[in-house]
Amino acid sequence: MSAIRITHAVPLSESILLAIIEHMTNRNRDVIILAVLCEDILQTGNIKSIEKKILWPNDIQPGQCGEKVVFEIDKRLFDKTERWCIEVGVSVEQLVLAFIRFCACKDNQEALKEWFNPNRIVAELISTYDELLRVNEELLEIKQRFGIDKQEEFLKEHENTVL
């Protein structure tokens, strides 16, 4: 059995997989990003075979970098990311280091070109926009069905009512 196992796998694109790995001897967790065909790798047998090839990423650890990297991020996005990291047992720093390691590896250049392809990004934005429109339509339908489409009027009418 491999000394490392994948505990969570999140496909970031068709050829980029974010994986939370656990070192079986000391139960430490880390994040790695792999350039693989995600549809093939997410099958159980393939995950077991790739686990045998994963090396523990001990080249750079949180807190060991010489310089501090500072960047701005939306507070809500950071909080959501932090909650997810806590849920899967890693830190935000480990997630950022995984991304830096992945981008720094010359072998991943083709996968990065696909990931940062403007056409793919635009297609995802259009898909997200379409989904938001659909959700908004459903919300309006629910409000009308249950008679809460005049919520502001109701609140003004009852603003002095003590609950």
- 100, burial (CB in 10 Å: exposed 0-12, middle 13-18, buried 19+): middle
Local structure of residue 147 (DSSP, 8 states): T
Distance between CA atoms of residues 46 and 122, nearest Å: 31
pLDDT given at position 1:
45
pLDDT given at position 151:
64
pLDDT, tens digit, 9 for 90 and up, residues 10-63: 888 777 888 888 888 888 888 888 887 766 666 666 777 777 777 777 655 555
pLDDT given at position 76:
87
Which amino acid is present at 8? Answer: H
Q: Where are the domains of the chain?
A: 4-116, 119-156
Sign for the CA dihedral angle at 62, 64, 69, 70 comes to: positive
Sign for the CA dihedral angle at 43, 49, 51, 53 comes to: negative
Read off the pLDDT band of 69 (50, 70, 90). Answer: low
Whether the predicted pLDDT of 129 surpasses 60 = yes
Pull the structure tokens for residue 55: 């090396």
Read off the pLDDT band of 67 (50, 70, 90). Answer: low
User: What count of other Cβ atoms lies within 10 Å of the Cβ of residue 15?
Assistant: 19
pLDDT given at position 38:
64
pLDDT, tens digit, 9 for 90 and up, residues 4-19: 888 888 888 777 888 8
- Residue 99: CB partners within 8 Å, gap ≥ 6? 33
